[in-house]
Structure 1
Amino acid sequence: MTTPAAEFIDRRLQAEGSELRADADADRIGGGLRFYGASVGAVRSTVRDALRRHPGMTHDDVTALASELWTEPVYERRLAAIVLLQRQVATLVGNDLTRLEQFLRDARVPALVDPLTTEVVRPLLDRLDGVGASRARRITDRWAAEADPSLRRAAVLL
């Protein structure tokens, strides 16, 4: 099932893409992802427009939309999920770290791991305190010893 917000974002990203840019991005970024060839600016403006078009999104709406965008191994969709979470990071809670860890495992490329870590995970961790902060630190400390290179990279960036 595709939500109207995800449909809007996907359609816009495809319309903003170019085959030439998609090929160049695939060569530069790789990771076995598909590419629409939309610029980072187009991704950011598309997410901004989606939030305007669908006002009043709750925490659950935002995290569900991010997950929906992430399900397809398309670079621009995943980048849109990161931009969405970045714009709504103040609504994220400690329990969202589980979802973010799965996104990191699936990211495949530093071009997604790095902004997800520095623009979403780090600000979330900075906001947590008490038991929530302790639990989150145990999780992120574990990442340094993981076999998954994306989690190890995230641990270094934190």
Structure 2
Amino acid sequence: MSDAGGFVDAALQLEATWQRAITDEARIGSHLQFYGASVGAVRGTIRAVTLRYPGLGHDEITALASELWGGAVYERRLAAVVLLQTHVRRLDNSDLTRLEGFLREALTPALADPLIVDVIVPLFRSLDGGSRARANVAVQRWTSDENPWLRQAARHLVGID
């Protein structure tokens, strides 16, 4: 695990309570593991990691998001979403493949919805020219995909100028 990834993981575990883990699992579903860290703790951890590692560029941000998403732990995946929300202006059309993978593995609307609304939609809106044309190809494919969150993302994106 990278230094930044280890920092996020350790911080989330330190902020966790078993009571919140049980509550979140009951609310969200048992298909993920839960540390029991609050949304505020996740957001604070991402603020702290961006201060602790100020040189994070596009590649480091997307690599960290993938690293956090890689474990089937709800708070780590939520941290990946918050990281991407925070740095959405650094993303480009080439990141749609990674985001598509995240949606395919989201397992819950609690992760898919903010990923769509707060990351994919703003990213798509920022694209123009050839980047938008390449993104439109992916979105068109998503409209008929078997994954419900990809279809939902496509519904949000179709017709955006």
CA distance in 1, matches of 2:94, 2:65: 15
* Contact 1:13 1:76 survives alignment (8 Å): yes
Matches within 5 A, 1:106-117: 106-117=105-116
Letter in 2 for 1:93: D
Distance in 2, Cα, partners of 1:102 & 1:56: 26
Structure 1: runs of 5 or more not aligned: none
CA distance in 1, matches of 2:22, 2:30: 13
Aligned to 1:48: 47
Equivalent in the alignment of 1:62? 61
Deviates more, 1:123-132 or 1:139-148: 139-148
- Letter of the 1:62 partner, please give it: I
Cα distance change, pair 31–134 in 1 and its aligned pair in 2 (3 A): farther
Give SS of 1:107's match.
Answer: coil
Which contiguous aligned blocks of 4+ residues in structure 1 show a shift greater than 4 angstroms? none
Partner of 1:35, secondary structure, is coil
* Residue equivalent to 2:84: 85
Relative to the length of structure 1, the TM-score reads 0.96
d(CA) in 1 for partners of 2:128 and 2:156? 20
Q: Once the 2 structures are TM-superposed, how far is the Cα of residue 31 of structure 1 from its aligned partner?
A: 5.3
Alignment partners' CA distance in 2, 1:31 and 1:145: 28
Provide the TM-score with structure 2 as the length reference. 0.94
Q: Following TM superposition, by how much is the alpha carbon of 1:148 offset from its aligned partner in structure 2, in angstroms?
A: 1.3
Match of 2:151 in 1: 152
State how many pairs are aligned. Answer: 157
Supply the RMSD in Å over aligned alpha carbons: 1.0
SS of aligned partner of 2:146? coil
- 1:15-54 correspondence to structure 2 within 5 Å: 15-30=14-29, 32-54=31-53
Q: Deviations over 1:40-96 (max 9, x none)?
A: 111000000011000111110000000000000001000000110111111111101
Gaps of 5+ in 2: none
